[in-house]
């Protein structure tokens, strides 16, 4: 407690109210992705992934069904401070027998609704699953030249939007319904426009059904390229950014889906200037979209700082998206989520208003000096106090909980 009191004093010299930062940090929801716990396999019985997706590693103890996945997730949720949501993919429907994706309904996710309410989660987010399916075998879904293929995936997306709207009504917070498709070509295409016109037509049909944003927020997610579609991605950033702007749809930025030299933090203010909402999938693209567990590093700090300095806490929809099977999956899950929460707290402890005044006055020397000194302030003491108040372990205590779970549960699967 002495360390925390000292931290309050030090931050105050920079004009930062630590107690206010703690209160604000606790109100910013972060949506945990269910697919970290089972390597994006889902409950359809798939043994492998397709559509440019690969989970690296084969650490023992992967969850194989709803009971195991929800049990692992319950351990992780108890280790993460702040407001939390849960992000589902369509392949995580809980059914007695297989239900085709274009026939999914809210009732197939009742187990998840019950689970989320039991843990007091802020809400559920949802994603149609356009990969690992025979109807995606060609590598094209909503952009396919085959009308039957497009029609199947349009029906799937429409069903998923209905499910997301149901989640919004259940929890009283809008469900983020996010569209990502793997469509593209391995080599240089003969026609770039045709697939994009097909995609536009498909999206127009999907979004022709209008829902209240009180219950559902629609987003589209771009990508530079995928495994096996290195030459051309139909749903590029330019395509989706224009489509979103024209149709009042939310853009989702995954920081692993851009060129390694691009900064998602730098893109946020451009979108905040025009958009009601922006969504994020936060990952760690060590070498492009390699989906490592998130670290507390510069890129994540800059994203968090941009959210806070823009006053966009109510406009940003934050989710996680990585699937690391090279280490204990629950450690990767919890560590990444804790680091995103830590980055948000770090950003809330920044004297953004004071630094903006320095920039506006052209006092860049003082701006540099302050920016560097702030890095040495005792964030750790504030983070520990935040965890204590949130009732989760601080320091290194959190991962001992996971090792105990591994010894008793996951190692026996």
- Residues belonging to the active site: 180, 221, 223, 254, 257, 281, 289, 291, 321
Report how far residue 339's alpha carbon sits from residue 87's, in angstroms, rounded to the nearest whole number: 18
Report how far residue 225's alpha carbon sits from residue 184's, in angstroms, rounded to the nearest whole number: 8
DSSP string, 116-171: HHHTT-S-EEEE---SSSGGGTTS-STT-S-HHHHHHHHHHHHHHHHHHHHHHHHH
Report how far residue 359's alpha carbon sits from residue 15's, in angstroms, rounded to the nearest whole number: 17
Report how far residue 128's alpha carbon sits from residue 168's, in angstroms, rounded to the nearest whole number: 16
Q: For 37, which DSSP code?
A: G
Q: Which helix (H) or strand (E) holds 87?
A: strand 84-89
Sign of torsion, CA 88 111 28 219? positive
To which residue do tokens 């809330």 refer?
Answer: 348
Report how far residue 107's alpha carbon sits from residue 275's, in angstroms, rounded to the nearest whole number: 33
Report how far residue 208's alpha carbon sits from residue 145's, in angstroms, rounded to the nearest whole number: 21
Integer angstrom CA distances of residue 7 from 1, 12, 174: 10, 8, 36
Burial class (CB in 10 A: 0-12, 13-18, 19+), 99: middle
């Amino acid at each position: 407690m002495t360390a925390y009191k000292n931290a309050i004093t030090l931050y105050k010299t920079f004009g930062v109210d630590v107690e206010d930062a703690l209160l604000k940090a606790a109100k910013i929801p972060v949506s945990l992705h269910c697919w970290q716990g089972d390597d994006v396999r889902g409950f359809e019985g798939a043994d492998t992934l397709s559509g440019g997706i690969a989970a690296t590693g084969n650490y023992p103890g992967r969850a194989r069904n709803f009971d195991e996945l929800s049990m692992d997730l319950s351990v992780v949720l108890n280790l993460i401070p702040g407001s939390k949501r849960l992000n589902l993919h369509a392949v995580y429907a809980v059914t007695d027998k297989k239900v085709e994706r274009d026939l999914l309904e809210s009732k197939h996710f009742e187990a998840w609704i019950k689970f989320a309410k039991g843990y007091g989660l802020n809400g559920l987010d949802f994603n149609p699953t356009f990969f690992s399916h025979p109807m995606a075998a060609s590598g094209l879904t909503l952009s396919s030249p085959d009308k039957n293929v497009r029609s199947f995936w349009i029906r799937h997306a429409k069903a998923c939007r209905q499910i997301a709207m149901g989640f919004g009504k259940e929890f009283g917070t809008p469900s983020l319904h996010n569209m990502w498709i793997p469509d593209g070509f391995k080599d240089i295409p003969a026609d770039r426009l045709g697939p994009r016109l097909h995609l536009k037509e498909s999206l127009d049909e999907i979004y022709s059904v209008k829902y209240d944003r009180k219950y559902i927020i629609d987003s589209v997610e771009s990508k530079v390229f995928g495994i096996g579609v290195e030459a051309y991605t139909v749903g590029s950033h330019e395509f989706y950014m224009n489509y979103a702007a024209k149709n009042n749809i939310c853009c989702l930025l995954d920081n692993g889906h851009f060129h390694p030299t691009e900064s998602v933090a730098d893109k946020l203010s451009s979108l905040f200037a025009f958009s009601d909402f922006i969504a994020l999938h936060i990952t760690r693209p060590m070498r492009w979209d390699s989906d490592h567990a998130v670290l507390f590093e510069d890129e994540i700090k800059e994203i968090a700082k941009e959210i806070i300095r823009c006053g966009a806490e109510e406009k940003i929809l934050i989710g996680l998206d990585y699937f690391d099977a090279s280490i204990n999956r629950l450690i990767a899950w919890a560590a990444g989520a804790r680091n995103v929460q830590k980055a948000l707290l770090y950003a809330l402890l920044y004297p953004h208003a004071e630094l903006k005044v320095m920039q506006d006055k052209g006092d860049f020397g003082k701006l540099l000096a302050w920016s560097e000194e702030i890095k040495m302030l005792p964030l750790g003491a504030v983070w520990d106090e935040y965890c204590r108040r949130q009732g989760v372990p601080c320091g290194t205590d959190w991962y001992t909980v996971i090792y105990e779970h591994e010894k008793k549960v996951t190692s026996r699967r």
